[in-house]
Structure 1
Amino acid sequence: MSFSLFNLCFALTLGGLLGFFGGIFGIGGGILAIPLLVLGFHMEQPLAQGTALVLMVPNLVMAMWRYLQRHPVAWPPLLLIGLVGSLTTWLLAGLATRLDPLTLRMAFSFAIGILSVWLLLGKRTAAGGETRIPLRRLPWVGALGGSAMGLLGVGGGLVATPVLIGWLGLRQTLAQSLSLALVTPSALVALGTYAQAGRVDWHWGIPMAIGGLFTVSAGVACAHRLPEARLRQSFAWMLLAVSVWMAVAPVVMGR
């Protein structure tokens, strides 16, 4: 894909928009970037997933650092969930880079469709919860989140956080800290695997990442002023629409 000064400015702007909306929805921007790169830029699914990881990694590193400053967690559970998640990500990312792009695209479409329905039907979690972390169950959560990161390039945190709250009974802040400890190193591993397989477009990924770093904080600040329930529903409906479009686009557009 040719790259010009116009493309550079466009990628910076696009990264800024994705970073802003990623900050509002608390997702790092990857789950929005991948469908856009596939549908708008006609990238193959594996290349779109690898390129979106370039955007996600610095945002996740910054978020993890800031979040753990406010909500410290002991090192053993952080290392445990991070190592298991990274190993699972490495195994599944290698598979994802070798899958047929259309097959991977359908898997991504199906996964975010299920996620959107889950968000629409799910109930809000109570503010309370346990502060003691059951270490024996933690590797299962790490494997689940790492599988999403490796195969789809996104979704580790969206899967891990509700599982940590609903299955392990942890309070929200603790679950989010552990989720970031899972997703951040997993995203780094996934990016390395996709890059080694030549499934990253650095010309687009790097300026998108730079643009996103300037707007994530503004998105987070905006999110705190908006009704959480409305944000959750808007995000879920958007994901559902993207899921359907990614599934039918090859038929409608003949590709």
Structure 2
Amino acid sequence: MIEWLMYIGLGAALGTLGGLFGIGGGLIAIPVLGVLFGLDQQVAQGTALVMVVPNVLLALWRYHQRNRIELRHALPLAAAGFVFAWLGSIWAVGLDAQAMRLGFVGFLVALAGWNVARMFMRSAPPSTELRQPWPWLGVLGAGAGVLGGLFGVGGAVVATPVLTSVFGTTQVVAQGLSLALAAPSTAVTLLTYGLHQHVQWGMGIALAVGGLLSISWGVKLAHALPEKVLRSLFCAFLIVCALLLAFKA
């Protein structure tokens, strides 16, 4: 019982971060499960996805309530993300766990470096309208889907900075669209990991319960913070995740 409550508490903390950054909490859950609980990389990713799938669905609804997500933008992201996440997850379950962990560290460091660099670049003011034609969202969905399926993070962590820098959206609009991408891709990735026995269901369900209790608070906080503060926190968050995994590796 104490162990179950501990998992629920951890899920609540991860859910708040997932709502804040629009990623469902999986990005931080994976290094935490690997470092604190000693799970192999694939098992950590699969177990985190049990929490991420319902968290993403709830966060998507909350973002849509506060800042309406355009269906014509969400559909190409979600459709391409679904197909390519499935392909990425099939690739992931056959890889060496240590190699995957090191690859994930490199992925996070590169992503954090790009986000930090963007903070010092001149760019046009963010907007709710896209700077690029909407079919390019399918290309973004495909690339983010592969990485999401491979690393079990749903692709949202990749899509968010691309949407703000290339497509010119605000941070909260980008996070809402990224959740639309993540919803189907995380579901198909979880199915693939589950079929290959890379999931600890009991732990994952407890984390999901905690996440569902708290994720709305994270969404509310995301809409209350200034744009620059939210982006800075997102960069710091990526760096912390990379350091946690590097320590484990």
Please indicate the TM-score interval, normalised by the length of the shorter structure.
Answer: 0.7 to 0.9
Structure 2 counterpart of 1:78, from 51, 74, 77: 74
Matched with 1:197 is 196
Matched with 2:137 is 138
* Aligned alpha-carbon RMSD (Å): 2.5
Matched with 2:155 is 156
What one-letter code is carried by the residue in structure 1 that aligns with 2:236? W
CA distance 1:136–1:18, shift in 2 (3 Å): closer
CA distance 1:33–1:135, shift in 2 (3 Å): same
1:132 and 1:231 map into 2 onto residues whose CA distance is 21
Superposition misfits of 4+ residues, deviation over 6 angstroms: none
CA distance 1:105–1:64, shift in 2 (3 Å): same
What one-letter code is carried by the residue in structure 2 that aligns with 1:138? L
CA distance 1:141–1:206, shift in 2 (3 Å): same
Aligned residues: 246
Matched with 2:211 is 212
CA distance 1:180–1:226, shift in 2 (3 Å): closer
Structure 1 counterpart of 2:99, from 84, 98, 103: 103
Overall identity of the aligned pairs, in %:
41
Deviates more, 1:232-241 or 1:84-93: 232-241
* CA-CA distance at 1:137 after TM superposition: 1.5
Matched with 1:236 is 235
Matched with 2:43 is 47
Structure 2 counterpart of 1:91, from 78, 87, 91: 87
Contact 2:170 2:227 in 1 (8 A): no
Match of 2:43, SS? helix
Gaps of 5+ in 1: 251-255
Structure 2 counterpart of 1:15, from 11, 18, 21: 11
- Give the TM-score normalised by the residue count of structure 1: 0.85
Matched with 1:253 is none
2:67 and 2:151 map into 1 onto residues whose CA distance is 28
CA distance 1:128–1:235, shift in 2 (3 Å): closer
What one-letter code is carried by the residue in structure 2 that aligns with 1:157? A
* CA-CA distance at 1:191 after TM superposition: 0.7
Structure 2 counterpart of 1:64, from 60, 63, 67: 60
- Larger C-alpha radius of gyration, 1 or 2? 1
Contact 1:128 1:172 in 2 (8 A): no
Contact 1:55 1:209 in 2 (8 A): yes
Match of 1:23, SS? helix
1:230 and 1:164 map into 2 onto residues whose CA distance is 17
